[in-house]
Amino acid sequence: MKATAAAHANIALVKYWGKRDDALLLPEAGSLSVALDKLRTTTTVELGDFAADTLTLDSREENPSRARALLDAAGIRQRARIDSRNEFPTAAGLASSASGFAALAVAACAAAGLRKSAEQLSSLARLGSGSAARSVPGGWAVWEDESARQVFPPSHWDLRFCIAVCSSGPKQVGSRDGMRATRETSPYHAAWIAQCRRDLPEALRLLAARDLSGLGALAERNALRMHADALAADPPLLYWHPPTVACLHALGELRAGGIGAWGTIDAGPHVVAICASRDADRVGTRLRAIPGVVDVLLCAPAGGARLLP
Ligand code: DP6
């Protein structure tokens, strides 16, 4: 009645920002992501006759209600003790619900002795957090409906993802609330969703062709359009800090100097730069020099969620 699983967080190049069903966490448009090797979460689930569910995240007690929704959907009635640890080399605001819920789905089903397909596990992880659906298959993953699927393995393309940690300061509005507020109040939201529907097939074509300047530019545009949508919400959602903007300018300068690097930004201040592996050190060095950037993590593509012995 006990199992441990590991999963990697993912970064989306075509973003999920809008739900067509708030209860089932179904997306309005498809998204494309890649799992990141250094952003790994390990989760242990123990099932039993405990007084209540408990969830410990990096040694802090957290509310287990989202985890319970996932367990209920899997048909797991016993109480759960969940211990989740982020093995990130920095503590600076990169905690990820995607890797956590993906690892939880795999560990909980194993602890309960349930045999589930990869598709079913992805669909369960989705009930914790939409983006977690993509961390179950890992690699390059597409999520359009109930579950996500791997479209290319991590070995498809030797890219690097330089995460510039641009944080500190008060906590942002989380993705769940930010996404809902944007859909309900942004006058640009329909245009954003229509854009994602055009971006996904184009991104898949560029990914298959390993066209870095095409895919990098598309990912940067897609992220800036997501933020344009969020900025247009009422009240506005401004996730950026000064170093976020400085990173985007630095990437533009690198490109002008012949180094291909493009940025993407989730619902927070950090910038993830996409580049070829041969350029990763130069991109990392440039981002590290920006005032307010507290750390830079170099990641490579990673695989899916798996059970640990
Ligand atoms: C900006 O998956 O965290 O990172 O489904 O409400 O839990 P919920 O949201 P979540 O949203 C991720 C938003 C994003 C874009 C992306 O990862 O596609």
Handedness of CA 162, 165, 166, 170 (dihedral sign): positive
pLDDT by residue (tens digit) across 222-234?
999 999 999 999 9
Distance 65 CA to ligand 1 centre (A): 18
Task: Give, using CA atoms, the residue closest to atom 11 of ligand 1.
Answer: 175
pLDDT of residue 270: 95
pLDDT by residue (tens digit) across 150-199?
999 999 999 999 999 997 666 789 999 999 999 999 999 999 999 999 99
pTM of the model: 0.97
Distance 175 CA to ligand 1 centre (A): 5
* pLDDT confidence band for 89 (50 / 70 / 90): low
Distance 25 CA to ligand 1 centre (A): 10
The binding-site residues of ligand 1, defined as CB within 6 angstroms of any ligand atom, are 12, 15-17, 25, 31, 97, 129-131, 175-176, 179, 266-267
Alpha-carbon gap, residue 141 to 137, rounded angstroms: 7
The C-alpha angle with vertex 166 and arms to 243 and 242, in degrees rounded to 5, equals 25
What is the rounded (10 degree) CA torsion for 49, 50, 52, 56? -130
Task: Give, using CA atoms, the residue closest to atom 3 of ligand 1.
Answer: 175
Distance 30 CA to ligand 1 centre (A): 12
Alpha-helix residue ranges (DSSP H) falling in 114-211: 118-128, 132-135, 175-185, 189-208
